Chains A and B, each alone.
Chain A
């Protein structure tokens, strides 16, 4: 018996991918096993000892639908081209997974060790291809990133899967044009799971689902520390077959006017909300819907001490 398999994987383990793993360092050098190695976009990126310098370069090296993975090493990554010019990451290669290096236990969804931002007034990531997975990344916005979404996804971004990520916009200048994950077209089968969003003023929605189909948002936490946030999640025209469940909307000393806002929604039964929980000052867990567009089941507003222990939420208008 060969104890390492003949193709190099460990005996007894089913491989997790058939593609290449491209390693990306957060700085000009990175330490692996106690040794420092230089990062460069001239490296091939195929070993943690030869990491690339920018995630943008990794996307340029990936092959579509071949199981390739981009692994962001711990630290703060800035989206940029090889000369350092801040440039949005074009996630335009289908079937690629981009992820931060999770810890042994799978990573802290409240704030992952791999941070990603862009020092420009542009999106950090533009997703324009299908079957892309993004995980274990903290999208922490910086002040120079003004008036634009952290990540947007087009109509071609079918089956986009974002999980175990953080979006923190609190270092940015407050603007309703700053969104978290923003739909720019009718993508289908997108899933947002176990993500954490931190806001502290009148920002845009942290997840926009306008026009998307068959979308699932679950197990996310929306932390709003101060000021007024109009909406944490927005649906809109043509949003259909959407499930939004088991999310918590915390408004601390601020106010979330609408947890899930359906302004502009047009599809009867287009959105199902269940087991979502709102803070005491969430004005409405669901609002902006006309009759029949949103279905509710077991969503609760929070109650404070000596309060009611939680009130079943029933209104959608």
Chain B
């Protein structure tokens, strides 16, 4: 039985808004047929896809359940002329997601997003935005910016099932993964994977955020020294960092979870995180009582204990 809206009786629709389709290239294939994308299309049908994600953000309506679907392939953030430009995620309540065409490989999604410029790929400056199923691939032209930043207005930002890979970029501590610019609340980052290979900035920065959760992520360092994988700082409060894994490879993570500048008592709860052998101090630079630890372990190598409980925060 079909409801008058066309959905199945008994099933709860996913969205009430429009779905805007974006193609990764001028020519793309849907349902076995080739089409041409254009920012002059309305984007409301997969056979009339938009050319750039940026255009989709200009068409969505705030808080109406609109969804931007990025077709599989490598998308470049750009305006209609093709000039590389950060995506302004400034419309509240919008979901931007890659299309898995299946369950989707947790390590790297088929939809890739990048910007060929010295700028962020995405700036989130509105509330209730969801970003999912996207590989953020750093471009060599991005020499000193985060891949995604989110402002104090980005309350309830939800990023999940995404990958960040900065290994094609020139190492720079100014290159971060997801970077908090202000006191956003209720930010949830989960099921993400971060690939790093040298002295980059933190892959997740939660400075000043409140009531936020980072969970079930993998931070994979290939080589070199990464000062911090996750940073909290002044104003970070009610922050939960749990069930993440920090792999050091042949490199070193100086402080996988770094609390330099933290000032809130019991501001960070870290639990069930696992840290590679080459973690210098797993949870570091917190003053007494700023970080609460439970069941965090560091790996050991042959002849070791088989896993050592972490208790140090300074």
Task: Give chain A interface residues in 281-317, CB to chain B under 8 Å.
Answer: 289-299, 312-317
Q: Is B213 in contact with chain A by the CB < 8 A criterion?
A: no
Residue from the list A67, A135, A160, A190 in contact with B71, Cβ < 8 A: A67
CB contacts under 8 Å to B, within A94-144, are: 95, 97, 99, 131, 133, 135
Question: Would you call A84 an interface residue if the criterion is a C-beta within 8 Å of the partner chain's C-beta atoms?
Answer: no
Q: Is B82 an interface residue (CB 8 A)?
A: no
Known: A65-B72, A161-B105, A189-B108. A14 touches B301 (CB 8 A): no
Q: Does B81 contact A (CB under 8 A)?
A: no
Cβ contacts under 8 Å, A272 to chain B: 245, 247, 274, 276, 299
Whether the Cβ atoms of A296 and B100 lie closer than 8 Å is no
Q: Interface size of B by Cβ–Cβ distance < 8 Å? A: 62
B99 and A15: CB pair below 8 A? Answer: yes
Q: Is there an interface contact between B277 and A269, defined as CB atoms closer than 8 Å?
A: yes
Q: Is the CB of B72 within 8 A of A18?
A: yes
CA distance A159 to B44 in the complex (A): 30
Q: Does A63 contact B (CB under 8 A)?
A: yes
B288 at the interface (CB under 8 A from A): no
In the bound complex, do residue B299 and residue A297 qualify as a contact, i.e. CB atoms below 8 Å apart? yes
Contact B297 A13 (CB under 8 A): no
Q: Are A216 and B306 in contact (CB under 8 A)?
A: no
Chain B, range 211-255, C-beta contacts under 8 Å to A: 218, 220, 222, 245, 247-250
The residue in B16, B100, B107 that gathers the most chain A C-beta atoms within 10 A of its C-beta is B107
Establish whether residues A314 and B105, one from each chain, have CB atoms under 8 Å apart when the complex forms: no
Is A171 part of the binding interface, using a Cβ–Cβ cutoff of 8 Å?
no
Tell me the bound Cα distance from A256 to B31 in angstroms. 47
Instruction: Indicate if A57 sits at the interface (CB-CB under 8 A).
Output: no
Task: Report yes or no: A314 in contact with B101, Cβ–Cβ below 8 A.
Answer: no
- Judge whether B77 is part of the interface by a CB distance below 8 angstroms: no
* A36 in contact (CB, < 8 A): no
Contacts of B245 in A (CB 8 A): 243, 245, 272, 274
Chain B residues, CB < 8 A from A313: 306
Q: Determine the chain B residues whose CB is within 8 A of the CB of A1 once the complex forms.
A: 5
Cβ of A66 < 8 Å from any Cβ of B?
yes
A6 contacts across to B, CB distance below 8 A: 44-45
User: Does A77 touch B at the CB level, under 8 Å?
Assistant: no
Q: How far is the CA of A293 from the CA of B299 in the complex (A)?
A: 12
Contact in complex: B45, A7 (CB < 8 Å): yes
User: Which residues of B, 29-69, contact A by the 8 Å Cβ criterion?
Assistant: 29-32, 44-47, 67, 69
Binary B-proximity of A245-260 (CB < 8 A = 1, otherwise 0): 1000000000000000
In the bound complex, do residue A19 and residue B31 qualify as a contact, i.e. CB atoms below 8 Å apart? yes
What does the 1/0 interface line of B278-312 toward A look like (CB < 8 Å)? 10000000000000000001111111111100000
Additional 12 contacts, C-beta under 8 A, given A15-B19, A67-B101, A299-B306: A3-B4, A7-B45, A11-B13, A12-B13, A14-B67, A14-B69, A20-B31, A159-B105, A274-B307, A289-B302, A292-B301, A312-B307
Interface residues of A (CB under 8 A from B): 1-7, 10-20, 63, 65-69, 95, 97, 99, 131, 133, 135, 159-161, 163, 189-191, 193, 214, 216, 240-241, 243, 245, 267-270, 272, 274, 289-299, 312-317
Chain B: residues with CB nearer than 8 A to chain A? 2-8, 13-16, 19, 21, 29-32, 44-47, 67, 69, 71-73, 97, 99-108, 110, 195, 218, 220, 222, 245, 247-250, 274, 276-278, 297-307
Shortest 3 CB-CB distances between A and B: which pairs? A12-B13, A3-B6, A314-B306
